[in-house]
């Protein structure tokens, strides 16, 4: 067994363990930075994208109030409320949809829930918010969220649909691209697709294997996203600005190659260290800030899915 994974303590103290914390998206399990630059971008006359709050927040304005997709990082809610006040024309937040459970995307849940908003998510996301969560690279537990922050309207498989101010909104399950509770939110009339951290156009993809995310699920989820909408569909990922389907395809193609190479390496008995030394990510269609950390996470994520890789892997 690789020394990198011989014990939990060794992982935590290794360079990879430290790199895991260093390469996380800003605010993934922490409070939002008071120094972060907040930008608000109108996508049409009723849609506003607010960035710089940890995870992106999309606001839909209507006579029924405001609908938010995600609520930014813990500690950034006052900044979000300030942007919403300028946009809302007196409307209050009545509905929130969370793309997954991480606190850089759900930090404002409790505030909006206390104001009367209903919160929707995948059942696994709500479950993770309701109990303490172990953070491997820090060897600590993240405390359960206060009850108001936990979504109360949940679903498990398939997709759901709601109407909000004339906008048809479809939201559905994604097969473990980042965690085990990821969903997409498709605003069909505006042709906008919100995907959370299922796509990572700038930072290295974060596959949270300890929360059910896995590299094969990320490939399948991105293929599903590419089949939605049309060539003009605007995509909102967890961070960065609006992206195109071409950027999603670039990541999907690269990760499909990673999956194929890693499956082949596993058939040959490669350890994580062997894969890192073999430069498994070389020659792909995207670059990596920390290739060793990504290989570690991707390989670790496949351990629970051997039966899905090949009949030659037992």
The per-residue pLDDT for range 235-268, each reduced to its tens digit, is 999 998 899 999 999 999 999 999 999 999 998 9
The span from the CA of 237 to the CA of 193, in Å, is: 9
The span from the CA of 136 to the CA of 138, in Å, is: 5
Query: Confidence class of residue 29 from pLDDT cuts 50, 70 and 90?
Result: low
% of the chain at pLDDT higher than 70: 86
Residue range 163-176, pLDDT digits in tens: 999 999 999 999 99
Q: Are 233 and 192 in contact (CB under 8 A)?
A: yes
Instruction: Check pLDDT > 60 for residue 4.
Output: no
Candidates 82, 81, 55, 79; CA nearest to 69 is 55
The span from the CA of 197 to the CA of 292, in Å, is: 20
Instruction: Check pLDDT > 90 for residue 31.
Output: no
The span from the CA of 188 to the CA of 229, in Å, is: 8
% of the chain at pLDDT higher than 90: 80
Instruction: Check pLDDT > 90 for residue 34.
Output: no
Q: Please indicate whether residue 307 or residue 272 has the higher confidence score (pLDDT).
A: 272
pLDDT at 309: 66
The span from the CA of 69 to the CA of 49, in Å, is: 10
Q: Are 212 and 253 in contact (CB under 8 A)?
A: no
The span from the CA of 205 to the CA of 188, in Å, is: 26
Write down the residue that tokens 């109407």 correspond to.
Answer: 163
Pairing mode, strands 39-44 and 242-243: unpaired
Instruction: Check pLDDT > 90 for residue 28.
Output: no
Highest mean pLDDT among 72-76, 88-92, 283-287: 72-76
Q: Are 181 and 122 in contact (CB under 8 A)?
A: yes
pLDDT at 25: 40
Over the chain, what is the mean pLDDT?
Answer: 88
pLDDT at 240: 86
pLDDT at 175: 93
Pairing mode, strands 65-69 and 159-164: unpaired
Residue range 129-146, pLDDT digits in tens: 999 999 887 899 999 999
């Amino acid at each position: 067994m690789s020394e990198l994974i011989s014990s939990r303590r060794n992982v935590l103290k290794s360079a990879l363990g430290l790199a895991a914390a260093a390469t996380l998206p800003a605010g993934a399990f922490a409070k939002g930075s008071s120094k972060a630059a907040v930008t608000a971008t109108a996508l049409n006359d009723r849609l506003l994208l607010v960035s710089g709050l940890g995870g992106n927040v999309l606001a839909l304005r209507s006579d029924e109030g405001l609908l938010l997709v995600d609520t930014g990082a813990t500690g950034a809610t006052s900044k979000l409320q300030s942007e919403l006040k300028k946009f809302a024309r007196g409307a209050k937040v009545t509905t929130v949809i969370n793309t997954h459970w991480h606190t850089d995307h759900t930090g404002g849940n409790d505030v909006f829930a206390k104001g009367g908003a209903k919160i929707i998510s995948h059942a696994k996301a709500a479950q993770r918010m309701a109990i303490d969560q172990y953070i491997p690279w820090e060897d600590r537990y993240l405390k359960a969220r206060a009850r108001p922050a936990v979504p109360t309207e949940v679903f498990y498989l398939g997709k759901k649909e709601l109407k909000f101010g004339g906008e048809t909104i479809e939201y559905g399950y994604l097969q473990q691209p980042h965690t085990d509770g990821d969903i997409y939110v498709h605003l069909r009339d505006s042709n906008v697709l919100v995907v959370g951290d299922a796509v990572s156009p700038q930072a290295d993809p974060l596959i949270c294997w300890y929360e059910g995310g896995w590299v094969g699920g990320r490939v399948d989820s991105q293929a599903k996203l590419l089949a939605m909408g049309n060539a003009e569909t605007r995509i909102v990922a967890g961070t960065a600005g609006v992206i195109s389907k071409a950027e999603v395809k670039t990541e999907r193609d690269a990760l499909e190659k990673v999956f194929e190479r890693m499956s082949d390496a596993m058939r040959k008995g490669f350890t994580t260290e062997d894969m890192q030394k073999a430069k498994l990510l070389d020659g792909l269609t995207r670059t990596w800030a920390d290739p060793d950390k990504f290989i570690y996470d991707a390989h670790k994520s496949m351990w629970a899915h051997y039966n899905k890789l090949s009949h030659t892997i037992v």
